[in-house]
Amino acid sequence: MVCTMAYLVKTPWWLSRLFYCDLNWKMQQDAKPSVYLTFDDGPHPTITPFVLDTLKAHNAKATFFCIGKNVAQHTDVYKRTIAEGHTVGNHTHNHLNGWFTKTEAYIENVERAATLINSRLFRPPYGRIKRSQANRLMRKKPSYKIYMWDVLSADFDITLTPEKCLANVLENIEPGSIVVFHDSEKAWDRMSYALPRVLEHCTQQGWDIKALPQD
């Protein structure tokens, strides 16, 4: 287990089994090894296009968990993301922390974002969601599929060097991994350094870089 400050870089197997075992922490493997890069908090008018250009250069696909209010402000970037073959998911409308939000208000916020984000994929901001909130989302018709992660780049940590952010990923990524990056201003210095190098590493390993399935 690798622990830095108040977060885990690598999700230990027992944590995902004991808590919220019905959420998606890692992907089952196809015949060819694959990894799954995800980006939270966009779209952003300049950072998301950088991510899209970098992914295209490596023939890679990814999943973008979008904030509803950002989609409303940058609809063109959101549409480009979908047009280029990536998948999108719901990340609430206002980046709510589920632990500190009443369940009814949380669900209403997710549904507000859903008027702009055509997806039943969901990731809770900060990874913080109450059992009652997860149950409500997974029991909706159609239900939401909640994706967590097994590798956290920690690009949001402003005390982290870009090199350490890269090491967080390279030392822990493996076939089936769901990796978290952020297409946000706070993460820019670290994400922009790490992403191209992570893509190069995955290509050298012969791994496919895929988006989470939309259905």
Active site residues: 40, 182
Exposed/middle/buried for 80, CB within 10 Å: 0-12, 13-18, 19+? middle
Q: Report the candidate in 168, 71, 50, 157 with the shortest Cα–Cα distance to residue 113.
A: 71
Question: Which own/partner pairs from 195-201 qualify as long-range (CB within 8 Å, at least 24 positions apart)?
Answer: 195/37, 195/51, 195/54, 196/54, 196/58, 197/166, 197/170, 198/37, 198/166, 198/169, 198/170, 198/173, 199/54, 199/55, 199/57, 199/58, 199/60, 200/58, 201/170, 201/173
The CA distances from residue 55 to 11, 41, 133, in Å, are 25, 17, 33
Could you say which DSSP state residue 100 is in? Answer: G
